[in-house]
Structures are given as structure tokens and as C-alpha cells.
Amino acid sequence: VSAFKAQVAAEAAQLDTQTLAKLKQVTNEQVKRKGTITKPTGLLVDKSGSMDKAIEVGKRLAALISGITEAELFVYAFDTMPYPVKAQGKELSDWERAFRHIKAGGGTSIGCGLEVMRSRKQAVDQIILVTDEGENTAPYFGKVYKTYSRELGLMPNVIIVRVGYSYDWVETTLKQQEVPVETFTFAGDYYSLPNLVPLMTRPSRLELLMEILETPLPVRNDK
């Protein structure tokens, strides 16, 4: 939380370049101490009309994830087309630069980012959606998820980070398909984003099941 407070305070105060650089360094270091992600992750950020807030949340989540992950991270912004976003480093400042040309506008196809991941065989164990779930254009996420899961032999956990006036269409569809899905409502407080870390770092249900199966049963010494 203090990491994000430092960043927001620096922006609001319009500090000089040297002080701002020091604060960003503190921010980046504190982000790294929140935990470790061991699963490949896909981050899909809604850039459709009025989704300026989603873009801002997306860049901060990208920094948060890239700073604590030991696995691959694939980042796409989307409207009705996917836009790969790649940073030259792992710091928040790097992701700010990577997102600088991403502007809100267009329709909403939440599935298009996952579709390009499917076509590129980008395998992940969790997908984070930053969106209001106002999907209005094919390919739709629920349908693409089925194809992705079948072709890559995976069932990624889905975390929906809701922004703005949100719906529950994607969540409802995924639950009907028995997909593991969690939701997190962003209410405008960037300090709350580190609360997502436990969701992103915990083992998947399959990993928990395998751990249980591999745990030796206690042996009773009958006399």
C-alpha cells in the first residue's frame, strides 16, 4: 500500500525529477516484497470507450505482477482488437512508458486477447481481466476460453478486476462453464491493488489437489 501511496503522492505534488526518481525506486522495491507469482499469467486490459480507468489500473497491475513473478507474463490491451503491450523492464516506470500509446476508445471484445494467445500457443495458468464486463463484440471470452482450454490442455484461473459501472456477464458465463473465477471490484483506490497479490500467488486448485494426493497418509501402529 505504501508503495502506491508514494507513487500517487509524487504525481500529485509534481515533484522535481530527482525526487520523483527516488520515490519511484522506493515504489518499485516495495512492490517486489508483496509476494511471488510462480504461475504463467495473462493480463488483459480493456481499452474500449470510457475505459481510461481500466488502462490506469492495468499498467499498475502489470508493474505489480512483473515485479513479483518468476514465470512468463503476457499483457494485451483490447477493444475489438488485441494490442500486445511489452515493457523494456519490470519497473512501474517501464510499464508507464509501455502503456503511453494505449488510449480508450472502440467497442469491446474481451475474448480477442485470449484468442491471440491461443493462436500463439501462449500457455498460462491464470488470466486477469481488467474490465467492466460490457462485452458487445465477438469473439466472446467464454467461448474463446473453451477453445483455449481444449487446445492447450489447461483450465486457467480467471480473476476479474471490475472497473467503472460494471456488469457480471463474463463472470456468469464462466461459472456456468464451471471455470474457476474470482472477482475484485476496483472502487477508485489504487492503494487497494496489492490486495490482489494473495489471489495471484496462491496455488491453483489443481496444484492444491496434487499436493493433497502426494501427502503421505498417517500410518497407525496397531498393537
- Cα 114 vs. chain centroid, distance in angstroms? 13
Would you place residue 217 in the very low, low, confident or very high pLDDT band (cuts 50, 70, 90)?
A: confident
As a whole number of angstroms, the distance between CA 27 and CA 41 comes to: 22
Of 3, 6, 2, 8, nearest in space to 188 by CA: 8
- Mean pLDDT, residues 188-203 taken together: 86
More confident site: 153 or 214: 153
- Mean pLDDT, residues 133-154 taken together: 97
Instruction: Indicate whether 13 pLDDT > 80.
Output: no
**Sign of the CA dihedral running 120, 126, 128, 129:** positive
- Indicate yes or no: pTM above 0.85: no
Instruction: Indicate whether 130 pLDDT > 90.
Output: yes
Instruction: Indicate whether 198 pLDDT > 90.
Output: no
Query: Mean of the per-residue pLDDT values for the chain?
Result: 88
Q: What is the pLDDT of residue 129?
A: 99
Could you give the 3-state DSSP secondary structure of residue 177?
Answer: coil
Instruction: Indicate whether 92 pLDDT > 90.
Output: no
Task: Name which of 51-55, 86-90, 188-192 the model is least confident about.
Answer: 188-192
Instruction: Tally Cβ neighbours within 10 Å of residue 135.
Output: 22
Q: What is the pLDDT of residues 42-70, one digit of tens each?
A: 999 999 999 999 999 999 999 999 989 99
Q: What is the pLDDT of residue 56?
A: 95
As a whole number of angstroms, the distance between CA 121 and CA 152 comes to: 7
90 half-sphere exposure, CB direction, 13 A CA radius: 14
All structural domains of the chain:
2-6+40-201 (3.40.50.410)
